[in-house]
Amino acid sequence: MTKTPKIVYTKIDEAPALASYSLLPIIKAFTKTSGINIETKDISLPARIIANFPDNLKADQKIPDNLAELGALTQQPEANIIKLPNISASIPQLEAAIKELQEKGYDIPNYPEEANTDTEKELQKRFAKVLGSAVNPVLREGNSDRRSAASVKQYAKNNPHRMGAWTSDSKSHVAYMQGGDFYGSEKSICLDNATNVTIEFADEAGQTKVLKEKTALLKGEVIDASVMNVKALRKFYAEQIEDAKAKDILLSLHLKATMMKVSDPVMFGHAVEVFYRDVFEKHAALIKELGVNVNNGLGDLYAKIQNLPADKKAEIEADIKVVYEKQADLAMVDSDKGITNLHVPNSVIIDASMPVVIRDSGKMWNPAGKLQDTKALIPDRAYATIYQEVIEDCKKHGAFNPATLGCVPNVGLMAQKAEEYGSHDKTFIAPANGTIKIVDEAGNCLLDQKVETGDIYRACQAKDAPIKDWVKLAVNRARATGAPAIFWLDENRAHDAQIIKKVKVYLPEFNKEGLDIRILTPVEAMRVSLERIRNGEDTISVTGNVLRDFLTDLFPIIELGTSAKMLSIVPLMCGGGLFETGAGGSAPKHVQQFLAEGHLRWDSLGEYLALGVSLEHLANAYKNEKAALFANTLDHAVSKFLENKKSPSRKVKELDNRGSHFYLAMYWAQALAAQNIDAELQATFANVAKEMEAKETTIIQELNDAQGEPVNIGGYYLPNEELAAKAMRPSATLNAIIDAI
Ligand SMILES: NC(=O)C1=CN([C@@H]2O[C@H](COP(=O)(O)OP(=O)(O)OC[C@H]3O[C@@H](n4cnc5c(N)ncnc54)[C@H](OP(=O)(O)O)[C@@H]3O)[C@@H](O)[C@H]2O)C=CC1
Ligand SMILES: O=C(O)CCC(=O)C(=O)O
Ligand SMILES: [Mg+2]
């Protein structure tokens, strides 16, 4: 490899973006002495909007399509990308970001919620590129290896976080459909030969309409099709709403409307309509006229009644109140502000929300601001059952004790838009009763699904090479750790049955002698993994893309208190490395707190760990000894950081994100000063360490003094660079030391 060693550090959104204003200058200052180039690429939500709508922008407003550039980079062996979590925008978030850009003088068109004309359809198509989970699928050109670093796991055992107690009489449970869902209807095949397919809808009269012109499929690719029957879905919601009322527990809905950006908002919308049925029926004509989109939540109704005459608005608000009096209480997202689980589709995201329910004794917040048992609606059976298994385990054995738990790392099939998370361009709402077919070039129907008007149809792909790579990664991890590896696959699910066949073909190609490798259904795999972690034993979960996402929040939240502390490595199939920071998101609640009181509780541990493995990867790829030294000393610094408990606190006027960066920097400088492999670095950083030690009290004082007041960073989605940097670097003493390196 001849090019200059380079690490690309992504610029993103919300809390981790704020943290970067403080952390990046430190990383750049430290590594610049080594000839490693740290380049930033802006792939934040506003940057992606700007890149996709340059038409009316001034030259100095334009931002190149960094995401496409990074996507191309993943195909090069020298790729070394540190990817921080970004916003996966729901429509309300997208609209808010557009509004902010427009207010700042960016001539960006509005998002057309309803596309009737060709222009509107074209606009919607262009916006689809920035909607939902639009970054990760482009960069994830490899499978995922998520686990906790040994030092982080040990820290969690020594300092167990609080886990809410569980009792056997908890009324909390997961409710899922018994039929008519994706799980029940799924059909799947593996292709003998490459082909191009068309997805077509045929109505009952035999009239056909092309839904998707062309999808290229490779030899050995698994393709499946399934349907969510909306009649069955709405019946399920109605029954469960009644049942929650009868059991006197909260009602909550857990979906992934961000990542599953086409199917899940529709499932969310049906829940809103069924729950607030009396309002939607009584005011049907007006609601239609106002253009309320239920898929955006009750928040959209509230937004659109704002300009109605006062009495009409009051009437609708009163009718909403009557619904609350009559129905089961909804789980709240913000009980102070009266924001419920059904307000917007992006505030209850299943991978993060269900583990928190489990951490909090099976409870969620009720309208009175108290924790209460909940019914968790997860309509589709494909993955709902694993959460019920955890709940049953907790009811039987009580809360998990992080001091003694083993771990459940994950090897996830993710590359090349595998499975449901790559299905958006093949997801359709059935226009009428009929059949949706996948037809090959020769006109053969490969898969057909009967649909009724409004049903959600979904086709998914999983390519052969990534599947084989995933099996290999699982065997490698089992070999490296000695832990059993369990493939979570359900032979009663059509798609999984195909994957099981492939796993059985590929496993013998790798040396699995002496390894314990099993295939169990997700429920059995959960049972075994939970029994083992309670015994302090480790078990590798080897899963598809959705369970990868779900389990890498669930187990870290149980084991470590948060998924932010995970190592999240993506060995790219072309030889490069993508290093994601943590497994969690962009923590909007943290930004709210920062803006209100100047305290940022975001923990950048995930970033430190990602930087460590990124430097290690670079050291190996370029035989770069300085990079190896930086990686090694950073590792020491992280251990000391944990030992000395320098993570940010949650409370204002205590150490926050910025102070935690100072300590990381000081420990890193000390470790570089203590080594004797590179005399030049030793000398440089001995001085840095000495200065930091001498000025520790002043620096911490300056950082704490900056807290306690509201902060203005000149925007939410597109903050003002200077204001944000100033807010995140308030210690002149620390800045002087860093800038002088
Ligand atoms: N890889 C990616 O790009 C990902 C992006 N997302 C996006 O992030 C947004 C928010 O998603 P959400 O599901 O609420 O998940 P988050 O992970 O942002 O938030 C869940 C909670 O986890 C805790 N948390 C997460 N990261 C940290 C950290 N570094 N330090 C301390 N605590 C942390 C916080 O708990 P507390 O409030 O108790 O402090 C936070 O409120 C969405 O837009 C989503 O699409 C989500 C997942 C991954
Ligand atoms: O891309 C996203 O929206 C979320 C990704 C995520 O949750 C994960 O990979 O764990
Ligand atoms: Mg996740």
Q: How much is the ipTM here?
A: 0.98
What's residue 595's pLDDT? 98
Closest residue by Cα to atom 6, ligand 2, is 549
Is 486 annotated to bind a ligand? Reply is no
Alpha carbon of 713 to those of 9, 21, 591, 716, 730: distances in Å? Answer: 22, 12, 11, 8, 13
What's residue 317's pLDDT? 96
- Contact, 526 vs 492, CB < 8 A? no
pLDDT in tens, 663-686: 999 999 999 999 999 999 999 999
* Ligand 2 pocket check for 88: Cβ under 6 Å: yes
Average pLDDT rounded to a whole number, residues 310-327: 96
How many angstroms separate the alpha carbon of residue 546 from the centre of ligand 3? 9
How many angstroms separate the alpha carbon of residue 582 from the centre of ligand 3? 9
Average pLDDT rounded to a whole number, residues 243-256: 98
How many angstroms separate the alpha carbon of residue 251 from the centre of ligand 1? 22
Structure tokens at 598: 């100047």
How many angstroms separate the alpha carbon of residue 349 from the centre of ligand 1? 10
Is 601 annotated to bind a ligand? Reply is yes
221 pLDDT above the threshold of 90:
yes
Indicate which atom in ligand 1 lies nearest the CA of residue 85.
Answer: 3
Closest residue by Cα to atom 2, ligand 2, is 133
Average pLDDT rounded to a whole number, residues 437-464: 98
User: Residue holding tokens 């190592």?
Assistant: 567
Average pLDDT rounded to a whole number, residues 409-423: 97
Is 86 annotated to bind a ligand? Reply is yes
Average pLDDT rounded to a whole number, residues 640-647: 96
pLDDT in tens, 257-308: 999 999 999 999 999 999 999 999 999 999 999 999 999 999 999 999 999 9
How many angstroms separate the alpha carbon of residue 45 from the centre of ligand 2? 15
Closest CA to 81 of 677, 617, 694, 626: 617
1 pLDDT above the threshold of 60:
no
How many angstroms separate the alpha carbon of residue 408 from the centre of ligand 1? 20
**Residue 178: helix, strand or coil by DSSP?**
coil
* Ligand 2 pocket check for 258: Cβ under 6 Å: yes
Closest ligand to residue 136's CA? 2
Distance CA 222, CA 423 (A): 13
Indicate which atom in ligand 2 lies nearest the CA of residue 580.
Answer: 9
- Contact, 105 vs 60, CB < 8 A? no
Residue 113: pLDDT band with limits 50, 70, 90 = confident
Helix (H) or strand (E) holding 17: helix 14-31
**Residue 472: which residues within 8 A CB-CB, separation 6 or more?**
506, 510
What's residue 514's pLDDT? 95
655 pLDDT above the threshold of 90:
yes
DSSP string, 580-620: EE-SS---HHHHHHHHHHS-----THHHHHHHHHHHHHHHH
Closest ligand to residue 564's CA? 1
Average pLDDT rounded to a whole number, residues 84-92: 95
* Ligand 2 pocket check for 552: Cβ under 6 Å: yes
How many angstroms separate the alpha carbon of residue 246 from the centre of ligand 3? 33
Residue 51: pLDDT band with limits 50, 70, 90 = very high
Average pLDDT rounded to a whole number, residues 520-542: 98
How many angstroms separate the alpha carbon of residue 139 from the centre of ligand 3? 15
- Contact, 485 vs 451, CB < 8 A? no
Distance CA 376, CA 372 (A): 12
Percentage of the residues of the chain whose pLDDT score is greater than 70 = 100
What's residue 602's pLDDT? 97
* Ligand 1 pocket check for 579: Cβ under 6 Å: no
Is 590 annotated to bind a ligand? Reply is yes
Closest residue by Cα to atom 1, ligand 2, is 133
Is 210 annotated to bind a ligand? Reply is no
- Contact, 89 vs 45, CB < 8 A? yes
Closest ligand to residue 550's CA? 3
- Contact, 224 vs 187, CB < 8 A? yes
What's residue 669's pLDDT? 98
What's residue 441's pLDDT? 95
What's residue 582's pLDDT? 87
How many angstroms separate the alpha carbon of residue 478 from the centre of ligand 1? 29
Task: Choose one of 349, 579, 600, 604 to mutate for the ligand 1 pocket test, by most ligand atoms within 8 angstroms of C-beta.
Answer: 349
* Ligand 2 pocket check for 670: Cβ under 6 Å: no
What's residue 34's pLDDT? 81
Indicate which atom in ligand 1 lies nearest the CA of residue 88.
Answer: 45
114 pLDDT above the threshold of 90:
no
Distance CA 656, CA 658 (A): 6
Distance CA 324, CA 332 (A): 12
Task: Choose one of 93, 140, 258, 568 to mutate for the ligand 2 pocket test, by most ligand atoms within 8 angstroms of C-beta.
Answer: 258
Residue 2: pLDDT band with limits 50, 70, 90 = low
How many angstroms separate the alpha carbon of residue 555 from the centre of ligand 1? 15
Task: Choose one of 48, 84, 87, 133 to mutate for the ligand 2 pocket test, by most ligand atoms within 8 angstroms of C-beta.
Answer: 133
Distance CA 661, CA 738 (A): 12
CB-side neighbour CA atoms (13 Å) of 104 = 19
Closest CA to 714 of 536, 605, 583, 595: 595
What's residue 652's pLDDT? 97
Closest ligand to residue 421's CA? 2
Indicate which atom in ligand 2 lies nearest the CA of residue 144.
Answer: 9
* Ligand 1 pocket check for 349: Cβ under 6 Å: yes
Closest residue by Cα to atom 3, ligand 2, is 133
Average pLDDT rounded to a whole number, residues 233-255: 98
445 pLDDT above the threshold of 90:
yes
Average pLDDT rounded to a whole number, residues 165-188: 98
pLDDT in tens, 17-33: 999 999 999 999 999 98
pLDDT in tens, 327-357: 999 999 998 888 999 999 988 999 999 999 9
What's residue 391's pLDDT? 98
* Ligand 2 pocket check for 578: Cβ under 6 Å: no
How many angstroms separate the alpha carbon of residue 233 from the centre of ligand 3? 25
Closest ligand to residue 422's CA? 2
- Contact, 705 vs 659, CB < 8 A? no
Closest residue by Cα to atom 34, ligand 1, is 587
* Ligand 1 pocket check for 20: Cβ under 6 Å: no
* Ligand 1 pocket check for 87: Cβ under 6 Å: yes
Alpha carbon of 633 to those of 32, 560, 629, 640: distances in Å? Answer: 15, 23, 6, 11
